[in-house]
Amino acid sequence: MATKKKAVKKATKKTARKAAASKTTKSASSNKNVYFFGGGEADGNGSQKNLLGGKGANLAEMGLIGIPVPAGFTITTEVCTYYYDNGKKYPKTLNQEIEDNIAKVEKAMGKKFGDLENPLLLSVRSGARESMPGMMDTILNLGINDQVVEALAKKTGNAKFAWDSYRRFLQMYGSVVMEVEAEAGEHHDPYEVILDKAKAKAKVKDDSGLSAEELQWVVAEFKKLIKKRSGKDFPEDPRDQLTGAVNAVFNSWNNDRAIVYRQKYGIPAAWGTAVNVQAMVFGNTGKTSGTGVAFTRDPATGENVFYGEYLIDAQGEDVVAGVRTPKPIAKMAKDLPKSHKELLKIRTKLEKHFRDVQDVEFTIEEGKLWMLQTRNGKRTGFAAVNIALDMVKERLIKKEEAILRIPADDLSHLLAPIFDSAAEKAAKKVGNGLPAGPGAASGKIYFSAEESVKAAAKGESVILVRQATSPEDLRGMIAAEGILTTEGGASSHAALVARQMGKVCVCGAHNMTIDYAKGTLTGNGVTLKQGDELSLNGFVGNVYEGNIKASPSQVIQGLIENKAAAKKSATYKKFMELMKWTDSHRKLGVRTNSDTPEQVEQAIKFGAEGIGLTRAEHMFFEGNRIDSVREMILADDDEGRAKALKKIKVFMKKDFKGIFKALDGRPATIRLLDPPLHEFIGTMDAAQKKDLSKKIGMSAAAITKRIHALHEENPMLGHRGCRLGISYPAVTATQVEAILEAAADVQKKGTKVLPEIMVPLVSYARELELQKQVIDETAAEVRKKLGLKKSELKYTVGTMMEIPRACLTAEEVAKHAEFFSFGTNDLTQTGLGLSRDDSSSFLQTYQDAEVLNNNPFAALDQEGVGKLVEMGVKGGRSTKKKLKIGICGEHGGDPSSVKFFHRTGLNYVSCSPFRIPVARLAAAQAALEEKGMARGEVS
């Protein structure tokens, strides 16, 4: 029998895959809206996440590989899109398709929906392409009414279970579908108030202590509550219940939480969600039942241990909601040995099949194990690296897939600071909980999401402290450096979301108490108020009073500080190995934006292959140097300017020498001065003017007068960049002297130097032509002075591409350029007509209104500004086929932008030192994606 079943399953799998693949393409025309799964068969399969959502596709896939899944069906994401595109109406055939599939589920489970003998109950859940934990709505136990509950009690012989299921259903249906929830000013959930009353009357602590009769009272009270507040009767007909629930799930795609989540993770609204309707199985029927969630490996560290928790006699949401504290999965071996053994087998099977860490939900109903969900587990950056590299060793995946699997941005988790161990030892520990999000965070405590957002906007470092978080807290969690909860387990909402965001998180610190009314947090005899400092160690789960000094991560200690102990750590070793792999695949070069020798040294350790941008003006912020720049700007004749430039040249030359030495033969793109005037003279107060007056021999009144004369309404679009060099060629000449004299000095000592002199803010080819003349003439003079031949002091001249006109006329500009470097900060500013300094006030509104998916100054606007980049590349290379082209705006360290630059054919990206590992990884991913590889598709 067993072998026969296997053979059937294999055949089913093959044919189902084929059928499903053709169905995916045909679905729009054939209008198949509902896909069945269960009983060893499925209409769809795991590859159809776009159509069935992640949950639906994987339920189908589990069904196909012989894992026990309660039967059900998936209403596709296309129905969701249709629903929104057609004024919340459904395709005409949908009702009938649902009816047909209910019949199939009834057959597979041997129960009937709405039946008064052996009733089938259903769960209704959302399931988008990418999981959005807790953001959308779920309804469990659907299909109960006053008659069905009696039938259920009779059939199971467990009246308490039947009434408990009924009250849970009412609670969910009432709040989600009928929208009866806590009202404004009401501090407690009205359903919980009724439950608390029942528990007080019955003198029990937990919900599970209530008897069937007491639960019956709760059900009656819930119904009264719903009727009173909504003005409507709760629908007794199971079909009506189902329609309401499906509507609610589709509507929840556009609730506030889901929108915030989509924005954060760049999920397009057009994707829509699927709805999964599935037969209920019950973990709350007594001591041989239970429910749990697990990861096939530790999602915080990546360690290869089965990691999860479960509750006996409970339903799914109890584990995640943190209402009862679950037990670690290992204990299941004693409580439910048969199911535990089976679960371990499924763990291995799932990892082998999906070739990735799985995050599973399961339920045991009277000794029978059912898998309710599997999906690739969300993990921290640490875990992502560990798991990917371990899986290569275990031969589950190839190196290429390991590279594709690690979200490039998450590499920054490995570079995040950790507490100084001496300072941590000295700190007063006020509590501890589960280490749910690794890293070290210190900040001021706030007890609500709202306060956290406000404090973070003021620039404070915030620790959000909650008993438990809920999806409503999302904005606060985004704003906080760290999150502390006093309730809930390792898979509570706080833990899941924090892990995904890479936030430091300690959860379930049971030895601490929060008093929201008083605004206090108490632990170990210490009471802290809102605004007091707290520190979290998310690696071990410790909570400390005060602000603990943090120190660099192991990767930083090993890589930058050259510490032997850190170099032995697994994290360091794996990080280094991964970086080696990325370099063997990427085509894009990775350079750094650095202005000092120290930054350059650091960047090289991170893997920089040269400098893509040194901003000359950034050398002037140190010590009193700014005085000379101010003197130069304020000078109203050539003589005064020359005097100031002489001073400037001295420290410029010194700095360039340091930078060239640190580069040790690598190329250096040095951008000529680009000082927006307001950054240098716009902010001077009276005392500063007085001080400067003494130093430069110009009266304070004269300084004020000159500042007024130089005042610009739009300094970002004013007399800056090459415009300054064209007005005052001596400004350019002095810098070129400093660069080339420094190069000659360093070269003399045996270090190769490759200066690339870059002209900023070019709009017209003629601007570059004029500046190149000055550069070449000055270079000739420097060579003459130093007695060097042309071949003995080399340099190249290129331009920033940061004004749309330069991109539109790139073929002309390229005539005078040996390289281009896109300044995407200014190109975004000028391309969008959006100030890079002032736009933050409405960017959020724009993201809320879905005008923007991302902040365009962080992730390149590929459709708009990207087009300018493409034109610049095309135009430039039409004049000079091999023109070297890079990018040095902030986007050089943003993974999605790096991939775009790869596709556009740039030679390198340049970013700040700490973003270099991220850029290297993203560049390797881009190269692999170009070969047609995608995450999960490398075999």
Residue with nearest beta carbon to Mg ion: 826
Are 91 and 33 within 8 A, CB to CB? yes
Q: 383, exposed or middle or buried, with CB in 10 Å at 0-12, 13-18, 19+?
A: buried
Query: If binding means CB under 6 A, how many residues of this protein chain bind ligand PEP?
Result: 10
**Phi/psi of residue 792, nearest 5 degrees:** -95, -10
Q: Which is nearer to ligand PEP, 410 or 674 (CB)?
A: 674
Give the list of residues 6+ apart from residue 437 with CB closer than 8 angstroms, or none.
300, 380, 482, 483, 495, 498, 499, 501, 502, 503, 504, 505, 506, 538
- Name the packing angle between helices 895-904 and 865-879 (round to 10°): 30
Shortest distance (Å) from residue 614 CB to Mg ion: 13
Which partner, ligand PEP, Mg ion, none, binds residue 615 by CB below 5 to 8 Å per kind? Answer: ligand PEP
Contacts by residues 655-658 (CB-CB < 8 Å, ≥ 24 positions apart): 655/596, 655/597, 655/619, 656/738, 656/739, 656/742, 656/743, 657/742, 657/745, 657/746, 658/596, 658/597
Distance CA 2, CA 96 (A): 35
Tokens of 760: 């900023």
Does 889 interact with ligand PEP (rule: CB under 6 A)?
yes
Whole-angstrom distance, CA of residue 592 vs CA of residue 597: 12
Q: Which of 824, 830, 847, 912 binds ligand PEP (CB under 6 A)?
A: 824
What is the 3-class SS of 747-780, one letter each residue?
Answer: HHCCCCCEEEEEECCCCCHHHHHHHHHHHHHHHH
Identity of residue 413? H
| Residues in contact with ligand PEP, shown as a per-residue x/- string from 587 to 616 under the rule CB under 6 A | --------------------------x-x-
Name the token pair of 238: 């199971």
Least spacing, CB of residue 587 vs ligand PEP, in Å: 22
Q: Of the two residues 229 and 836, which places its CB atom closer to ligand PEP in the complex?
A: 836
294 vs 722, which CB is nearer to Mg ion?
722
Nearest CB to ligand PEP, comparing residues 657 and 891 = 891
825 labelled as ligand-binding? yes
Nearer to Mg ion, 545 or 826 (CB): 826
823 known ligand binder: yes
Closest to ligand PEP by CB, 755 or 886: 886
911 is catalytic: no
Return the number of other C-beta atoms located less than 10 Å from residue 453's C-beta: 18
710 vs 720: CA distance, rounded Å:
12
Extract the tokens encoding 720.
């800056």
Min CB(846)–Mg ion separation in Å: 23
Question: 855 labelled as ligand-binding?
Answer: no
β 358-365/368-376 pair status: antiparallel
Is 825 an interacting residue with respect to ligand PEP (CB under 6 A)? yes
Q: Give the footprint of ligand PEP on residues 636-695 (CB under 6 A).
A: 674
Catalytic site residue from 722, 807, 888, 911: 888
Q: Can residue 898 be called a binding residue for ligand PEP (CB under 6 A)?
A: no
Question: Which residues contact Mg ion by CB under 5 A?
Answer: 802, 823, 826
Q: Which is nearer to Mg ion, 220 or 726 (CB)?
A: 726
Please state, in angstroms and rounded to a whole number, the distance separating the CA atoms of residues 173 and 236.
Answer: 12
| Distance in Å, CB of 858 to Mg ion, minimum | 16
Return the range that interacts with ligand PEP (CB under 6 A); candidates 100-108, 659-667, 722-730, 817-825: 817-825
Among 263-271, 311-319, 697-705, 821-829, the segment contacting ligand PEP (CB under 6 A): 821-829
CB-neighbour burial class of residue 228 (10 A; exposed 0-12, middle 13-18, buried 19+): exposed
Strands 462-466 and 611-615 come out as: unpaired
Residue 162 or 888: which CB sits closer to ligand PEP? 888
Q: Which of 80, 340, 413, 493 is catalytic?
A: 493
Smallest separation (angstroms) from Mg ion to the CB of 799: 11
| Shortest Cβ 807–ligand PEP spacing (Å) | 13
Residue 915 CB, shortest distance to Mg ion, in Å, is 18
Q: Is residue 33 a contact partner of residue 56, using CB atoms and an 8 Å limit?
A: no
**Strand order through the sheet with 290-295:** 327-328, 307-312, 290-295, 358-365, 368-376
CB of 632 to ligand PEP, least distance (A): 18
> Is 826 assigned a ligand-binding role in the annotation?
yes
Residue 298 touches which of Mg ion, ligand PEP, none (Cβ within 5-8 Å per kind): none
196 annotated as belonging to a binding site for a ligand: no
Confirm or reject binding of residue 888 to ligand PEP (CB under 6 A): yes
Tell whether 351 is in a known binding site: no
Flag whether 615 is marked binding.
Answer: yes
Look at the chain and count its residues.
939
**Proportion of the chain in helix, strand, coil states, percent, rounded to 5:** 50, 15, 30
Report the partner that residue 43 touches, choosing among Mg ion, ligand PEP, none (CB closer than 5 to 8 A by kind).
none
Classify strands 819-822 and 796-801 as parallel, antiparallel or unpaired.
parallel
Tell whether residue 826 is a contact of ligand PEP (CB under 6 A). yes
Angle among Cα 718, 724, 726 to the nearest 5 degrees reads 120
Is 888 a catalytic site residue?
yes
Sites of contact with ligand PEP (CB under 6 A): 613, 615, 674, 802, 823-826, 888-889
Can you say which residues are annotated as belonging to the binding site?
A: 615, 671, 802, 823-826
Can you say which residues are annotated as belonging to the binding site for substrate?
A: 615, 671, 802, 823-826
Active site amino acids: 493, 888
Can you say which residues are annotated as belonging to the binding site for Mg(2+)?
A: 802, 826
